[in-house]
Amino acid sequence: MASSAPIIAEKEHQESSDSIDRKAQLLAEHIRKSKYLIVFTGAGISTSAGIPDFRGPDGVWTLKRQGRVRDLKAVNTLQAIPTPTHMALVELQNRGILKYLVSQNCDGLHRKSGMLPDRISELHGNSNREYCKDCGKEYIRDFRAVAAYEKTVHDHRTGRKCALCAGPLYDTIINFSESLPAQPVHRAHHHAKKADLCLVLGSSLTVTPANEIPEIVGQARTGKLVICNLQNTPIDNLCDLRIHSKTDELMTRVMEKLNFPIPPFVLQRRLVLKLESTGDERYRLTVCGVDVDGTPVTFLKSIKLAYNRRIAHSEPFVIDFRGNLETETALKLELEFMGHYGEPNLEIMYEYTGERDAETLYLLEYNPYNGEWQTREQRSVDNGEGIRDDMGNADDCILLSSAPEEFPESVRRTRAANILPSITL
């Protein structure tokens, strides 16, 4: 809310490159010695992705308070690429160093970058996440899942219904004067009390009660608090190390000191395909996106099955067909995505094994820098328990590709000899 920002923004301070480098070395040493590192992030970590902050000199609330209009158009959060800071945190998580992340950001970039859902508290919500109050089911969307707020900012209904119980879905955004979600706050406090090191990145720490999380560590006898933000914060006096810097400038140096690479952003999708027999030579093909914990994820616009004139345009993506499916018969599906990163359509091959009501997980990786897909296939999915396999270490997966000549020999043979030539509705 604009009234929460001063008319004149807090002055920003930028330390010299040499000073940042020295402090990056100190922070790297703190991280090496830490047994329980948590990170607290604010809007400052997303500014290099083209998403404005709130209380900086050109922040959203600052400009509104001054009656000014932003000169440059902000990047759509759905098209924003996670920053080097986002990806550095993913690397620290994957190495077991970062134990927990607490974020005030609603842009969804932490989850998109690869932060696991059980390792993060999004205290102010996520513009891509909605949920059902009746049954508790959550949904991740590749579109803005935010209410229109036509009558009041406290009416969070998105207009969609829960697929399980048909209850109304609500966005997860926390507006001013609303209480923070109890469970994420509880987890944040739990991990803050266990932490021996808290790193604050890109937050002015002026919004309560979220700013209490790093304060817990700063006040602890055995805890260390490090803050990296261009503006001063109300708890700078609790710091063991204070860095006035852009977060990317700091974190790229810290990762170099730790001798850890910052992985490039790769868009990761998980797709579950289920083939059921519904009668004599009758089948039902169901396709849905899932997160690593089994939460439904919407990222597809349509599904098309080769030799079938019907295209599934809405969830659940279901195609009913008739045909004589023999073992090793291959079904070719064309996937159309929301396309926020310019993802081209992708063809995947499903090889029928004769197993009744079998489910298959496809691990899809899209590189937005070269426009290429990589696909891994894993059989026998237990969608109810969630999928926690690392995409790069799925030893029991078959590596596929969107290019026909790159399919494994067994699949190429199936394609040539056994693609179903006649599928009817």
Q: CA 49 to CA 81: how far, in whole Å?
A: 6
Using CB atoms within 10 A of its CB, is residue 75 exposed (0-12), middle (13-18) or buried (19+)?
middle
Q: CA 49 to CA 110: how far, in whole Å?
A: 12
Q: CA 101 to CA 38: how far, in whole Å?
A: 6
Among residues 291, 300, 296, 317, which one has the least CA distance to residue 131?
296
Among residues 111, 216, 115, 116, which one has the least CA distance to residue 172?
111
Q: CA 297 to CA 139: how far, in whole Å?
A: 6
* Cα radius of gyration rounded to whole Å, the chain: 24
Contact status, residue 140 vs residue 128, Cβ threshold 8 Å: yes
Contact status, residue 325 vs residue 338, Cβ threshold 8 Å: no
Enter the tokens of residue 39.
């990170």
Catalogue the active-site residues.
Answer: 124
Contact status, residue 338 vs residue 300, Cβ threshold 8 Å: yes
CA distances from 24 to 48, 112, 214, 245, 246 (A): 19, 26, 19, 11, 12
What percent of the chain is helix, strand and coil (3-state, nearest 5)? 25, 30, 45
Peptide bond into 421 cis (omega under 30): no
Helix (H) or strand (E) holding 242: strand 241-243
Helix (H) or strand (E) holding 412: helix 409-418
Number of alpha carbons in the 13 Å side-chain half-sphere of residue 255: 22
Q: CA 332 to CA 349: how far, in whole Å?
A: 5
Enter the tokens of residue 262.
């910052």
Q: What residues form DSSP beta bridges with 128?
A: none
